[in-house]
């Protein structure tokens, strides 16, 4: 069964959003734990953890989507070489 490029990119976007939600939530959770136990309930570890999670998700999405685009470009047919003009054919 053939898959359309739009369907494949759509599935990858869905995975990216899911990955971002999980990593953002995990970063907030980990930052909350550090804030609670080590930093006297400050906000910055929570914000930093969420930022790290979103950054990791962004990097994964970028690599995933770029690999799809690179693979599609390599499928394009190349144009056939034009024949050499008659003058060049005589000299060779």
* pLDDT confidence band for 92 (50 / 70 / 90): low
By the 8 A CB rule, do 72 and 9 touch?
no
State the Rg of the chain over Cα. 25
CA angle 67, 69, 70 (to 5 degrees): 65
What distance in Å separates the CA atoms of residue 68 and residue 61, rounded to the nearest whole number?
A: 11
Distance of CA 44 to the CA centre of its chain: 27
* pLDDT confidence band for 21 (50 / 70 / 90): very high
Name the pTM for this structure: 0.65
Q: pLDDT, tens digit, for every residue of 51-73?
A: 999 999 999 999 988 887 777 66
Kindly state the tokens that stand for 61. 């999405």
């Amino acid at each position: 069964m053939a898959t359309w490029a739009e369907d494949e990119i759509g599935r990858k976007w869905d995975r990216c959003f899911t990955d971002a939600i999980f990593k953002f939530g995990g970063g907030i959770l980990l930052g909350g734990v550090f804030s609670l136990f080590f930093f006297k309930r400050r906000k910055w570890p929570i914000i930093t953890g969420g930022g790290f999670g979103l950054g990791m998700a962004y990097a994964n999405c970028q690599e995933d989507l770029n690999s799809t685009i690179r693979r599609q470009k390599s499928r394009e047919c190349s144009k056939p070489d034009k024949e050499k003009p008659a003058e060049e054919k005589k000299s060779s």
